[in-house]
Chains A and B, each alone.
Chain A
Amino acid sequence: MISTDQLADVFVDVADTLVDDFDIVDFLHRLTDHAAAVSGAEAVGLLLADSRGQLRFMAASNETGKVLELFQLQNDEGPCMDCFATQQPVVNTDLATAGDRWPRFAPAARSAGFQSVHAFPMRLRDQTIGALNIFGKSDSFFQDDEVRIVQALADIATIGLLQERALAHAEALTEQLEGALNSRIIIEQAKGALAQLERTTPTDAFDMMRKRARADRRRLVDVAHEVISGVQPS
């Protein structure tokens, strides 16, 4: 776990959703980075439910995190699914003994070098909007206080999301989530376009876009838009 000072900075950043240029996609990417730093885990991934209750990939701290999330979605099994369905955290699960629980996911995660897995619900009161998944390579089993810290991080992020723009009416969450899901599609389209232009892989294209967004302090989705409008025939 990281130091108390750093932890305070992380919590301040995650609570800071009432800014003018707030963007859910960027926010969730930062959240996965923070969760990785706080827990010292190898990879972190995040799924959110769309308006129809279907879990969709939203963000990951790295490509491995993304692959592990997509694998769960594709096979409809894994810690994120269980966590979302039960609305309870899944903690300190040893992948070596989880073969019965997740016959496809457990061997796949182990062969990618992972030993432990945790999942925390993104919830506020009775509403669960998604789940945060943490994957560890070594014996990164959490103590009780560490579990509480990571759950608190997920809770604060959820409160921030649900209160974004002081959600004026019940429909506002649908508006936000659908907008964020469409932003993810734009980013994927731009990854493909940039990969084709630069003769590289979509993963490298994504890194290029993320670096550009950080360097210019712009939203990732705006950089993605720029890529697409640069190649779109008029």
Chain B
Amino acid sequence: MVDGSPTDASRDRDWAAELVEAQPSRDGHGVADRLHRVCNAGIEGLALDGAAVTLRAGAMSEAVAASSGDTARSLAQLEFDLGEGPARECWDRRRPVLVPDLTRPTDGLWPAFAPAALACGTHAAFGLPLQVGAARFGALTLYSAAPRHLQPDERARALVLAEIATEMLLDSATASADGEMDPNLKRVLDVRGEIYQAQGMVMVSLGVGLPEALARMRAYAFVEGRELLDVSLDIIDGRLHLEDGN
């Protein structure tokens, strides 16, 4: 984008992290509480009216893990009954689905969800997948009472919030992640493809899922005090084999 630069990217990142940190916590711990703060950061930071995090494991199991309030929670739950909506759509398409005006959905999207959301006073819905490649956790959905677009800088910030939620879920996937992760390791999404190649290799060699493969790599890098990229390169070149229990 013409208005973007790497400096903007790290600024968005800092903005989102501070905003999430500033949100009051409900019970002070657990991934659900942290996701709850991401939801509240979304409505405060982007001037929206509702936010929810829906988690899915396969086709059948889905749950609303966090929400900013009752309306957002009902909208997210409505998708389970109707089988359609922003969370479901961005999961299926593996990409953001941003609908600025539910009275004019593109391609006849959501014949059941759109009128139901409008009846609840919601005119815009934005679904952001919580995913790292083929590893999917669910979706962050944002709702606005008035029809509205997300401007380019707002889109970038919404994506950062989804990235932070994804990292929280990745961290919670590690059994050993009681302690705080190195802030440098928090950054999961990287321009370098090698991290993901190594993730695929570890998935096969340890017989674990993709989220756990990445969690193991991050835990190893943290314990050894090394960069995740260096660890990844060692795995690809066969200099390092993560073992069970690593």
Contacts and interface: CB of A to CB of B under 8 A. Distances in A.
B245 interface: no
A53 B156 CA distance: 9
A202 B236 contact: yes
27 contacts: A49-B1, A53-B156, A169-B149, A171-B150, A174-B96, A174-B98, A175-B93, A175-B97, A178-B95, A178-B96, A179-B93, A179-B95, A179-B96, A182-B94, A182-B95, A182-B131, A184-B193, A185-B132, A185-B193, A188-B193, A189-B134, A191-B197, A192-B199, A195-B236, A202-B197, A232-B203, A232-B209
Contacts, number: 155
B201 A193 contact: yes
Given A178-B159, A188-B197, 4 more contacts: A52-B9, A53-B3, A126-B2, A192-B198
B8 A53 contact: yes
B129 interface: yes
Contact of A186 (B6, B133, B152): B133
A196 B160 contact: no
Q: Which of B12, B93, B95, B100 has the largest count of A CB atoms less than 10 A from its CB?
A: B95
A196 B201 contact: yes
Nearest to A73: B191
Contact of B204 (A179, A188, A197): A197
A225 to B, nearest CB: 7
Nearest to A55: B191
B204 A171 contact: no
Q: Which of A53, A55, A228 has the largest count of B CB atoms less than 10 A from its CB?
A: A53
Nearest to B94: A182
Contacts of B3: 53
B147 to A, nearest CB: 11
Q: Which of A70, A168, A194 has the largest count of B CB atoms less than 10 A from its CB?
A: A168
Contacts of B200: 188-196, 228
Interface in A197-229: 197, 202, 224-225, 228
A218 B203 CA distance: 24
Contacts of B150: 171
B63 to A, nearest CB: 20
Contacts of B191: 54-57, 73
Nearest to B5: A53
Nearest to B97: A175
Contacts of B98: 169, 171-172, 174-175
Contacts of B93: 175, 179
A102 B189 CA distance: 27
A62 to B, nearest CB: 15
Contact of A185 (B12, B133, B160, B201): B133
A62 B18 CA distance: 42
Interface in B146-168: 149-150, 152, 155-156, 159-160
B204 A52 contact: no
A189 B95 contact: no
Given A192-B236, A194-B200, A53 B134 contact: no
A183 B132 CA distance: 10
Contacts of A176: 95
B95 A192 contact: no
A53 B1 contact: yes
B95 A51 contact: no
Given A53-B4, A178-B96, A179-B95, A189 B236 contact: no
B196 interface: yes
A157 interface: no
A128 interface: yes
Nearest to B106: A168
The 7 residue pairs across chains A and B that have the minimum distance between CB atoms:
A53-B4, A192-B200, A179-B95, A185-B133, A188-B196, A193-B200, A171-B98
B4 A49 contact: yes
A127 B3 CA distance: 9
